[in-house]
Amino acid sequence: MILGFTDLYAFIGFTTSIIYNLIPCIFLFQLKHKALKKERISIIPLLCLYSNATIYFSVSAFQVGDVKSIDPMDFCNLVGAYLGFVYLIIYIIMVYSKDEKKKAIRYIIILVIISILYVILAWNVIRKEINFWVYLFKYMGIVFNILQNLPMGFSILYLIKNKVSEKYTLFGAFFGLLNILAWFIWGFHAVFIDTNNKNKPYQTVVANLIALLLPIMQFILYFKYKKDDDDDDINNMSEIENNLVPTNINNNQGMEEEENNNRQSEEFEDFI
């Protein structure tokens, strides 16, 4: 055991999750300082981060029913649930409070109510070991686990539609990739190598294998659109230079003609 974790893979997975849970701070900082256009941002990745962490921690905690019995690895989801809730509140306040205060208040109230209702429902059905609901929560968690790896705070549809190379998405893509690889390796080890593990986390292997495509896609889109932007800049500069050349030639010719006229005028005056 390492610091209470079952193995090194669990410790690494916990650590990368904590780091990834902090990534929205970068996005919110840029949003606060108005470095991002409103049409580029999206609340969906933040919702998925919060939902994924809330579902998986509640399932884990309510099944054992004792805080001391919770796997230390699962506490990364408790951190993610808490931070995700805070991120959502901050996001709503930043985006809506200035011009649409009533809408901001309404969204915050809806978020709080849904969270409370989920906790009540999860507590009742998981403690009663109603397998249908437990499996439903886990499968819902898989969906959110995958979608939380979308560009953190950004609208992927807007970026693709407008071919925007948004550099701030690379923070989430890089640390998201590390987190996915860490959890995939942990799941693979638990399923196929660790013979003592009776609860095989197949969903972790499948979810992270699919999720792996999202950060890779973000890197591809960024460098593709960045290259297109650079090519456009080069072409624009070439056009500007081409347009300036004739002007410069004409200016040079005009100066030469003026010098010749001045010279001839001086020679004529000397002759007189």
* pLDDT tens string 144-177: 999 999 999 999 999 999 998 889 999 999 999 9
- Residue 269 domain flag: no
- Residue 268 domain flag: no
Residue 129's domain spans which residues? 8-229
- Residue 49 domain flag: yes
- Residue 150 domain flag: yes
Q: Report the number of distinct structural domains present in the chain.
A: 1
- Residue 238 domain flag: no
pTM of the model: 0.83
- Residue 252 domain flag: no
- Residue 265 domain flag: no
Nearest to 151 by CA among 31, 35, 44: 44
The pLDDT score that the predictor gives to residue 268 is 39
Average pLDDT of 78-84? 96
- Residue 248 domain flag: no
What is the per-residue pLDDT across 171-221, written as a single tens digit (0 to 9) for each? Answer: 999 999 999 999 999 999 999 988 787 778 888 899 999 999 999 999 999
